[in-house]
Chains A and B, each alone.
Chain A
Amino acid sequence: MMELWQSFVLGVNELMPWFDGNVAAIVIILIKAVALIMPLLLTVAYFTYAERKVIGYMQLRIGPNRVGPKGWLQPIADALKLMTKEIIFPSKANIYLFLLAPILAIAPAIAVWAVVPFDEGIYVTNLDVSLLYVLAIGSIGVYGIILAGWASNSKYPLLGALRSASLLVSYEIVIGFALVTVVMIAGSVNLNTIVADQQGGIVNWYFIPLFPMMIIFFISALVETNRAPFDVVEGESEIVGGTHVEYSGMTFAVFFLAEYANMILMAVLAVIMFFGGWHSPFEGLGVLESVFAWVPGIVWLLAKSTFFMFLYLWVRATFPRFRYDQIMRLSWKVFLPMTIIWIFVVALMTQLHIGPWFA
């Protein structure tokens, strides 16, 4: 594959002298980015369809089934509708900030995917600090929401933005501490290394020694992505639609894309951190391992993250919204002490060399 590409570059170089190795490198990055973003956006589109279907089924309804066979074209119809709708600017809003906000929301949500390892050696870039990169870029996304609330020059968006900011401050710490335990076991902040360290069957996956951290990470991910039951940022019944109130058409759609891209990212991250990433669950099980040996790792990764994405919808269909102060209490008085305690537990386990994880 690489040789083919090299010869292709050399061939084009003879015809067009400006097409040298540097340009070819840029082209390859662009190809990688498109190969990542197109499936991601398609997944987002069909995730919204899955959300409506799953929640419908859980509420004993059928969900969308009119556009196309079984409603398969519903997300495309939604996208067309949002694209053709008018973008309304509030008369006293700052238009530049107003338009910058959705861009600031979507850019980090997509940029984070650059370091996600889908399979052994399949990633856009291999950063040595990829976990730090994910946390850093991931928290920039909230600037989009805060800016949206500020730029709208309207009271409900501002309330939503303030809530979003305080949620981020509280739960970024919890997520950070929960992931510190993962880093303690793996001894690396490189996502590739973290996954590679979980090789060797289910018993080697980190969710066993870090089970409480896994749950805390998942719940915090719900908060970070503003999902029900922690969707106080939107809070339809309290503050109308939070930061989305003044946004319409494509600007709203971009926020929507960012939110769902973040949800999918959190699901994939949960798999990478706690459920062995691209590793098959049948590793080290003799016959089963050889039967499923042909399945590529990316399929396992996607299958496992699909479960977490389903869990998002399941949770949303089940629980009522938390009150704002309850969310704060959950973060500072429950999760934070638990994560700190568990860091000491992990340290103890490391000292005692327990199980296959701390060998």
Chain B
Amino acid sequence: MIDGIKKLAKNLTLSELRSGMKITAKEFVNTKITVQYPEEKTPISPRFRGLHALRRYPNGEERCIACKLCEAVCPANAITIESEMRDDGTRRTTQYDIDLFKCIFCGFCEEACPVDAIVETQIFDYAFESRDGSIMTKERLLKVGDDNEQVISKTKAQDAKYR
């Protein structure tokens, strides 16, 4: 009986509804934590595995020696490499393709590489407009590497002590 009256009083004073509305009112004036994406970005780890790049030595010579370790380790068979002897007697790639549709961004190629040629950058907001665009050719990979060499060397140095 007493409980029934208590429950009735609680219902009639809308106490449950008021406590709910109190919460939303509190959140209404709370600081908003939304990150406004193109202007603001969340911090990215130096170990982030984004778009691939081929690096060069400081003298401009490409690092890749066409050992095909990355091609062998790639679990998704995303990498295709053809190589030939260059005029100066070194072995170099003639074709180095990464299919971004196949790639799972595991980073094994980067770990396998004995000369730190293939790396994964912090670039994640890339896009392409045709199906061919998914193939990262040797030229495009080298261009990504050239454009971002400073960032790449910095992040790789930051991460080096944990590897």
Contacts and interface: CB of A to CB of B under 8 A. Distances in A.
Nearest to A215: B14
A319 B24 CA distance: 10
A62 B27 contact: no
Contact of A60 (B17, B30, B36): B30
A59 interface: yes
B25 A314 contact: yes
B27 A60 contact: yes
Nearest to A338: B12
A58 interface: yes
B24 A58 contact: yes
B30 A318 contact: no
Interface string A201-224: 000000000000001000000000
Given A318-B20, A318-B21, A319-B20, A58 B27 contact: yes
B21 A314 contact: yes
Contact of B27 (A59, A215, A315, A319): A59
B124 interface: no
B23 interface: yes
A215 B30 CA distance: 28
B28 A58 contact: yes
Interface residues on A, range: 10 to 19
A353 interface: no
A57 B25 CA distance: 9
A54 interface: yes
Interface centre among B21, B33, B36 (most CB of A within 10 A): B21
A162 to B, nearest CB: 28
B32 interface: yes
Contacts of A318: 17, 20-21, 23-24
A60 B32 contact: yes
Interface string A267-283: 00000000000000000
Interface string A316-343: 0111000000000000000000000000
Given A62-B34, A215-B14, A315 B21 contact: yes
Interface in B9-61: 14, 17, 20-21, 23-25, 27-28, 30, 32-34, 36
Contacts of B34: 60-62
What secondary structure prevails in chain B residues at the interface with A? helix
B32 A317 contact: no
Contacts of B23: 318
Contacts of B33: 60
Contacts of A65: 36
Contacts of B21: 314-315, 318
Contacts of A317: 24
A57 B36 CA distance: 15
A52 B34 CA distance: 15
Interface in A30-63: 54, 57-62
Nearest to B23: A318
Nearest to B17: A319
Given A215-B14, A314-B25, A57 B32 contact: yes
Interface centre among A59, A65, A315, A318 (most CB of B within 10 A): A318
Contacts of A314: 21, 24-25, 28
B27 A57 contact: yes
A341 B34 CA distance: 49
B143 to A, nearest CB: 32
Interface string A94-109: 0000000000000000
Contacts of B25: 58, 314
Contacts of A58: 24-25, 27-28
9 contacts: A59-B27, A60-B30, A60-B32, A60-B33, A62-B32, A65-B36, A318-B17, A318-B20, A318-B23
Interface of B: 14, 17, 20-21, 23-25, 27-28, 30, 32-34, 36
Given A59-B27, A61-B32, 20 more contacts: A54-B28, A58-B24, A58-B25, A60-B30, A60-B32, A60-B34, A61-B34, A62-B32, A62-B36, A65-B36, A215-B14, A314-B21, A314-B24, A314-B28, A318-B17, A318-B20, A318-B21, A318-B23, A319-B17, A319-B20
Interface of A: 54, 57-62, 65, 215, 314-315, 317-319
Of all A-B residue pairs in the complex, the 7 with the closest CB atoms, nearest first, are A58-B24, A318-B24, A62-B34, A318-B20, A58-B28, A57-B28, A318-B21
